[in-house]
């Protein structure tokens, strides 16, 4: 019997207000040798060009890219959703973008990423809800759990804005409630 | 093992193709799945199979579903810097042609068509241009022909127009009545609106410029390649292909048959 989490193929992350700092602190703990792909939706003002990929790329050891439509998901790369477009995972493990209507005023939407990733990766997905000022991600995280994936919520006591972690906790009981350091250790232990 | 809902989804898509010849089989799976699930709640169907039964036996029901499967999200002069780049980098080259044919593929409700027509008029090109505006959704095409848009959106369009290098007052192009803006019908004098599917139809004309924006993101790689193939076949030597701001030829086998003219703005030229 494999130890829990040993089959994880991908990590999906959602964050909103306070998210840049949380992402830097969380993924700053990962070493360059980290092999799992990381898919990130961070709510941003709807600007066409975002500097997020550059900001994270400069400060993290793992490579960071803005997700591009029909791009194959590569191991060990962190993909951030492009502003103004939903980000989904396709069955052939490529990424796709979409201009479907915003979900709860958000595009990209964390729920859209989580639900599509859960569909493809099933029990081999680990999804994380971080700091934020709305309830995006809660439904998606519950769906990840329903399909057998591992769910993680940032400890609301630590989150810069606790609304999003609390909304996720209100909908289902995750596998882990951890601070950023704890989540970082969890991820490092997946290798 | 496939989940039941995945089996049902494939059967629905197949039924639509067999019965109505609309081919969604090579659309991006994640998006089409969301659209169909949205339709389930809209039409109060418990399962995709139940939706399939209604769609198969009721063409009116299919037409309603088609409105949900296609994504009519558009605005005029969307991504103003794209239109500015067309004005500055492409128009000077278009002016060297005695007559022009432009294809707006997947024109939806017409916002891209009117934007292009306004730009061409201001550059003195509209009179010698024929625009083909195509889409698979007859209701969208009908709306595009009307040229009537909600007034509440026109403020944003005006701002886009100005940032896109517009030379006049945007209000010169429409008359406002009640909550609507009715666009100058002379803008569409040289526009042919037509039903055309990038998934099933073939090339119908040689063109100098093709605009296909935020359509290809809903296709899988195979269908994207089919569309790029049509565009390549339709474009004249050194013709222009312009895409949506997050669409790219990078992952296509046709990538080597086009060169970027303004890469950031997704403006390509056929080699």
Residue written as token pair 């701001």: B245
Q: Has residue B40 been placed in a domain?
A: yes
- A48 and B33: CB-CB below 8 Å? no
Q: Considering A16, A106, A109, A162, which one is annotated as catalytic? A: A16
Q: Which residues contact B154 (CB under 8 A, 6 or more apart)?
A: B170, B174, B176, B181
Q: In the prediction, which pLDDT does A188 show?
A: 93
Residue of A68, A93, A100 best to disrupt the B interface, most CBs of B under 10 A: A100
What is the tens place of the pLDDT at every residue in A123-176?
999 999 999 999 999 999 999 999 999 999 999 999 999 999 999 999 999 999
Q: Exposed, middle or buried, B226 (CB in 10 Å: 0-12/13-18/19+)?
A: middle
What is the tens place of the pLDDT at every residue in B87-120?
999 999 999 999 999 999 999 999 999 999 999 9
Whether B221 has a pLDDT exceeding 50, the answer reads yes
What is the tens place of the pLDDT at every residue in B19-32?
999 999 999 999 99
Q: Please tell me what DSSP assigns to residue B127.
A: G
How many domains are contained in chain B? 2
What is the pLDDT averaged over residues B250-265? 94
Whether B1 has a pLDDT exceeding 70, the answer reads no
- The third-level CATH classification (topology) of the domain covering A13-189 is Rossmann fold (3.40.50)
Q: Which residues of chain B does A70 touch, with a Cβ-Cβ cutoff of 8 Å?
A: 220-221, 224, 248, 251
Q: In the prediction, which pLDDT does A104 show?
A: 84
A1 shares contact with chain B (CB less than 8 Å): no
Q: Which residues of chain A does B31 touch, with a Cβ-Cβ cutoff of 8 Å?
A: 88, 96, 98, 100
B53 & B90 share domain: no
Q: In the prediction, which pLDDT does A44 show?
A: 81
Question: A11 near A37, Cβ under 8 Å?
Answer: yes
Give the separation between CA B129 and CA B209, rounded to whole angstroms: 11
Whether B160 has a pLDDT exceeding 60, the answer reads yes
Give the separation between CA B216 and CA A68, rounded to whole angstroms: 12
| Least CB–CB distance from A48: residue in B29, B220, B245 | B245
B120 & B253 share domain: yes
Q: Has residue B158 been placed in a domain?
A: yes
Whether B246 has a pLDDT exceeding 70, the answer reads yes
Q: In the prediction, which pLDDT does A1 show?
A: 42
B108 & B15 share domain: no
Backbone angles phi, psi at B195, to 5 degrees: -75, 120
B20 & B96 share domain: no
Strands, sheet with B191-195, edge to edge from the N-terminal-most edge strand: B191-195, B129-135, B100-105, B207-212, B235-243, B267-270, B258-262
Write out the residue range of the structural domain in which residue B195 sits.
Answer: 80-270
Q: Has residue B75 been placed in a domain?
A: no
Strand-pair partners of A89: A95
Please report the ipTM that was assigned to this predicted complex: 0.92
Q: In the prediction, which pLDDT does A49 show?
A: 66
What is the pLDDT averaged over residues A111-117? 98
Q: Exposed, middle or buried, B190 (CB in 10 Å: 0-12/13-18/19+)?
A: middle
The domain spanning residue B155 has which CATH number?
A: 3.40.50.150
- A88 and B30: CB-CB below 8 Å? yes
Whether B2 has a pLDDT exceeding 90, the answer reads no
B52 & B84 share domain: no
Q: In the prediction, which pLDDT does B184 show?
A: 97
Question: A92 near A121, Cβ under 8 Å?
Answer: no
B113 & B161 share domain: yes
Q: For residue A108, is the peptide bond before it cis, meaning its omega torsion is within 30 degrees of 0?
A: yes
A91 shares contact with chain B (CB less than 8 Å): yes
């Amino acid at each position: 019997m494999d130890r829990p989490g040993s089959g994880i193929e991908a990590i999906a992350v959602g964050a909103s207000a306070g998210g840049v700092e949380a992402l830097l602190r969380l993924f700053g703990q990962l070493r360059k040798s980290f092999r799992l792909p990381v898919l990130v939706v961070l709510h941003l003002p709807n600007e066409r060009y975002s500097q997020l990929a550059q900001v994270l790329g400069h400060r993290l050891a793992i490579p960071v890219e803005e997700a591009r439509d029909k791009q194959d998901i590569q191991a060990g790369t962190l993909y951030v959703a492009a502003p103004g477009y939903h980000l989904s995972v396709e069955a052939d493990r490529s990424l796709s973008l979409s201009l479907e209507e915003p979900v709860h005023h958000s595009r990209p939407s964390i729920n859209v990423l989580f639900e599509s990733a859960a569909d493809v990766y099933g029990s081999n997905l680990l999804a994380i809800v971080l700091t934020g000022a709305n309830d995006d991600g809660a439904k998606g995280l519950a769906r990840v759990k329903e399909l057998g994936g591992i769910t993680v919520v940032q400890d609301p006591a630590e989150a810069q804005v606790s609304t999003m972690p609390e909304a996720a906790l209100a909908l289902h009981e995750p596998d882990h409630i951890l601070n950023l350091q704890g989540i970082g250790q969890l991820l490092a232990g997946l290798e | 093992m496939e989940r039941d809902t995945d089996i049902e989804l494939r059967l629905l898509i197949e039924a639509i193709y067999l019965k109505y010849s609309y081919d969604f089989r090579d659309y991006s799976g994640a998006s089409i799945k969301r659209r169909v699930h949205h339709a389930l709640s809209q039409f109060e169907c418990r399962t995709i199979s139940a939706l399939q039964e209604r769609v198969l036996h009721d063409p009116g029901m299919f037409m309603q579903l088609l409105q949900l499967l296609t994504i009519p999200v558009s605005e005029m002069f969307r991504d103003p810097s794209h239109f500015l780049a067309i004005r500055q980098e492409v128009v000077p080259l278009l002016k060297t042609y005695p007559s022009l044919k432009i294809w707006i593929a997947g024109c939806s409700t017409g916002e891209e068509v009117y934007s292009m027509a306004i730009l061409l008029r201001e550059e003195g090109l509209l009179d010698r241009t024929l625009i083909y505006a195509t889409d698979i959704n007859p209701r969208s095409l009908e709306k595009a022909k009307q040229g009537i848009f909600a007034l509440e959106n026109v403020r944003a369009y005006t701002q886009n127009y100005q940032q896109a290098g517009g030379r006049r007052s945007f209000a010169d192009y429409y008359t406002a009545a009640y909550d609507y803006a009715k666009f100058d019908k002379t803008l569409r004098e040289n526009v042919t609106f037509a039903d055309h599917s990038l998934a099933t139809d073939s090339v119908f004309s040689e063109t100098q410029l093709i605009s296909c924006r935020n359509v290809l993101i809903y296709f899988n790689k195979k269908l994207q390649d089919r569309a790029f193939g049509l565009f390549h076949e339709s474009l004249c030597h050194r013709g222009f292909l312009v895409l949506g701001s997050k669409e790219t030829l990078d992952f296509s086998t046709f990538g080597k048959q086009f060169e970027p003219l303004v890469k950031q703005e997704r403006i390509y030229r056929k080699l």
